[in-house]
């Protein structure tokens, strides 16, 4: 097999963000853009020679072309074997599972997650390490460093082969195994959950609606929920992955999953609703007319995980990202297990999971997962919920009400200001950081500031320090505001403002979330001077 060695030069801006490299699809289509990054990925991780990788993506526009390029580049770089999902499809959790199960050297996942797809949408590529988790910063830094001094890339002249047919073939000396994307994942879910109890619940008339949002989870949910567990035919909607996610925004929150929200508030609403994102790692769950916030979901799953066979008596600890509400901390305290607070980004859970310090992890950004893999897992969260409901007997709304009664409620919301000029966003954060020591003691919107800090995290396993992860403002009485800039946007900057107010057990717990948070919202807007810096009167997206 002949290989081409193509001279190239560094392309600016190939620094991976919160979750891999994300750019407009058109940027990835520019000559050499993908190739430079893939070669840097191989070079920055000690070369591809003799290695085995899992490769797959969420099926968005350019997934197929990118997969073929990666096959030819892996072959030219001497990789021994690639394990590829049929048609280049793999959900992020399924890829994480395959990396672990086959003990590969890592995986290359093609996705921009919940960002829109299509020719005018976004594309992305991320590298997962041999533990199945997102590459830690020392690896992404090494890859980025390579993008800055790259001089050539290698690509096989041979065709990438047929990735639409299950089976094995060779590209030069490299073996390519095209596998069923769902089978191994289905096996894993069977090991974790009480499938009999869930099947019995469905047979008894329990109705579910799972919105796959035209993204990769469709085939997984269809096979497992409808095929294996016997949910009614049609329980999974928008189940066929499309190149542009049906023109939608595959982000499972009440704004973008509006079709599901409408269904769940109709007169004939199913008992349980759920949605997942582009690459299948995020989830949203709902009861009738009731959105369960990701932070509450993490707290409730932690409180009831013992009803699932894999977690009964096996919770060593729990972890949440810093902006995620503190609802789970209260559960952990009552269970007598540690609760870790990490920076945003699933990669920060990897060491805790590997070291057995945490069993369940979650983030406000609709991610929940466990030690079964090293990624968050949308369908896993849905199945854990179904397992809990099947074994507990209460519906999700009642279960949550009872939980608040016993643990108190953490009212929670996130306000996003999107596509603001990068300099304006930077100035807002700098101004906040400049006031860390002067703010405590002052009263804003009737709330007295008790503590302000710029969150830094020392990993308890390897001691690595990650700084500048967002500004935390605490108020007397337990309310909290966190401000940080998103690491996943592709245009300008996105300011995220996370708002939280605790209402003790025995309270009303039934207030409208935005109304309950009104003073906290006012305080956040005033302290950060959001209007002056961004020119915006209100957030673009409120979830």
Residue 42 or 346 with smaller CB distance to ligand G16 = 346
Q: What are phi and psi of 445, to 5 degrees?
A: 50, 35
Q: Parallel, antiparallel, or unpaired: how do β-strands 443-444 and 541-542 relate?
A: unpaired
> Smallest distance from the beta carbon of 324 to ligand G16, in angstroms?
9
Residue 282 or 501 with smaller CB distance to ligand G16 = 282
Residue 167 or 426 with smaller CB distance to ligand G16 = 426
Residue 302 or 494 with smaller CB distance to ligand G16 = 494
186's tokens:
């289905």
Element (H, E) at 50: none
Element (H, E) at 431: helix 422-434
> Smallest distance from the beta carbon of 488 to ligand G16, in angstroms?
3
Distance (Å, whole) CA 519 – CA 511: 14
Q: Catalytic site residue 442?
A: no
Burial category of 49 from C-beta neighbours within 10 Å (exposed 0-12, middle 13-18, buried 19 and up)? exposed
Specify whether the CB–CB gap between 122 and 62 falls below 8 A: no
Q: Is the dihedral of CA 453, 457, 463, 465 positive or negative?
A: negative
Q: Between the CA atoms of 342, 352, 134 and 331, what dihedral angle is there, to the nearest 10 degrees? A: -60
- Look-up: residue for tokens 């709304």? 397
Nearest CA to 211 among 379, 399, 376? 379
> Smallest distance from the beta carbon of 321 to ligand G16, in angstroms?
6
**Long-range contacts, 443-448 (Cβ 8 Å, 24+):** 444/522, 444/523, 444/526, 444/527, 445/519, 445/520, 445/522, 445/523, 445/526, 446/519, 447/475, 447/476, 447/477, 447/479, 447/519, 447/520, 447/523, 448/475, 448/476
> Smallest distance from the beta carbon of 93 to ligand G16, in angstroms?
11
User: 485-522 burial string, b = 16+ CB within 10 Å, else e?
Assistant: bbbbbbeebbbbbbbbbbbeeeeebeeebeebbebbbe
> Smallest distance from the beta carbon of 418 to ligand G16, in angstroms?
11
> Smallest distance from the beta carbon of 375 to ligand G16, in angstroms?
8
- Look-up: residue for tokens 């997942």? 276
> Smallest distance from the beta carbon of 420 to ligand G16, in angstroms?
14
If you compute the radius of gyration of the chain from its CA atoms, what whole number of angstroms results? Answer: 23
Residue 364 or 525 with smaller CB distance to ligand G16 = 364
Three-state SS letters, 102-153: CCCCCEEEECCCCCCCCCCCEEEEEEECCCCCECCHHHHHHHHHHHCCCCEE
Q: 40, 111, 113, 413: which one is catalytic?
A: 113
Residue 112 or 231 with smaller CB distance to ligand G16 = 112
Distance (Å, whole) CA 394 – CA 400: 10
Residue 64 or 363 with smaller CB distance to ligand G16 = 363
- Output the CA angle 224-360-498, nearest 5 degrees: 105
> Smallest distance from the beta carbon of 346 to ligand G16, in angstroms?
4
Question: Which residue ranges make up the site for ligand G16 (CB under 6 A)?
Answer: 18-19, 113-114, 281-282, 321, 344-346, 363, 365, 367, 486-488, 496
Chain centroid to CA 311: 21
DSSP letter (8 states) at residue 437: T
> Smallest distance from the beta carbon of 212 to ligand G16, in angstroms?
15
Residue 171 or 499 with smaller CB distance to ligand G16 = 499
Residue 43 or 251 with smaller CB distance to ligand G16 = 251
Please give the positions annotated as active site.
113
């Amino acid at each position: 097999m002949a290989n081409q060695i193509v001279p190239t030069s560094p392309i600016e801006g190939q620094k991976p963000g919160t979750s891999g490299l994300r750019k407009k699809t058109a940027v990835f289509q520019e000559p050499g853009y993908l190739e430079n990054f893939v070669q840097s990925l191989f070079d920055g991780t000690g070369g591809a020679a003799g290695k085995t990788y899992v490769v797959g993506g969420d099926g968005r526009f350019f997934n197929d072309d990118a997969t073929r390029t990666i096959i030819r580049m892996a072959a030219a770089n001497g990789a021994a074997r690639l394990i590829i999902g049929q048609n280049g499809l793999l959900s992020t959790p399924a890829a994480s599972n395959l990396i672990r199960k086959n003990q590969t050297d890592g995986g290359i996942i093609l996705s921009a997650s919940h960002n829109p797809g299509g020719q005018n949408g976004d594309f992305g590529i991320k590298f997962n390490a041999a533990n199945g988790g997102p590459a830690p910063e020392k690896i992404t830094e090494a890859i980025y460093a390579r993008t800055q001094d790259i001089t050539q890339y290698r690509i096989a002249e041979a065709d990438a082969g047929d990735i639409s047919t299950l089976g094995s073939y060779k590209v030069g000396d490299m073996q390519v195994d095209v596998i069923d994307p769902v089978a191994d994942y289905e096996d894993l879910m069977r090991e974790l959950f009480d499938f009999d109890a869930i099947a019995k619940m469905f047979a008894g008339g329990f109705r579910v609606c799972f919105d796959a949002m035209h993204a990769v989870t469709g085939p997984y949910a269809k096979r497992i929920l409808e095929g294996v567990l016997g949910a009614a035919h049609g329980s999974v909607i928008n189940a066929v992955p499309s190149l542009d996610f049906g023109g939608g925004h595959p982000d499972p929150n009440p704004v973008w999953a509006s079709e599901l929200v409408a269904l769940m508030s109709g007169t004939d609403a199913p008992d349980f609703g759920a949605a997942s994102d582009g690459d299948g790692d995020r989830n949203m769950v709902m009861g009738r007319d009731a959105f369960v916030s990701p932070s509450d979901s993490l707290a409730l799953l932690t409180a009831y995980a013992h009803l699932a066979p894999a977690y009964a008596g096996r919770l060593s600890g729990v972890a949440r990202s810093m902006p995620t509400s503190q609802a789970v901390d209260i559960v952990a305290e009552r269970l007598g297990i540690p609760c870790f607070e990490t920076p945003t980004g699933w990669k920060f859970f990897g060491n805790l999971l590997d070291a057995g310090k945490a069993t369940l992890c979650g983030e406000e950004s609709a991610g929940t997962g466990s030690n079964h893999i090293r990624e968050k897992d949308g369908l896993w969260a849905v199945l854990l919920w179904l397992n809990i409901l099947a074994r507990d007997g209460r519906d999700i709304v009642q279960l949550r009400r009872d939980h608040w009664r016993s643990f108190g409620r953490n009212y929670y919301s996130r306000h996003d200001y999107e596509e603001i000029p990068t300099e304006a966003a930077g100035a807002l954060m700098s101004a906040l950081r400049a006031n860390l020591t002067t703010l405590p003691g002052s009263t804003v919107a009737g709330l007295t500031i008790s503590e302000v800090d710029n969150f830094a995290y020392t990993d308890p396993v390897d001691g690595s320090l990650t700084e500048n992860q967002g500004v935390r403002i605490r108020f007397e009485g337990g309310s909290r505001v966190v401000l940080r800039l998103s690491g996943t946007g592709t245009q300008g900057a996105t300011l995220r403002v996370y708002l939280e107010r605790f209402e003790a057990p025995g309270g009303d717990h039934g207030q409208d979330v935005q109304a309950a948070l009104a003073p906290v919202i006012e305080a956040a807007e005033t302290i950060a001077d959001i209007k002056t810096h961004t020119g915006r009167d209100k957030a673009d997206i409120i979830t």
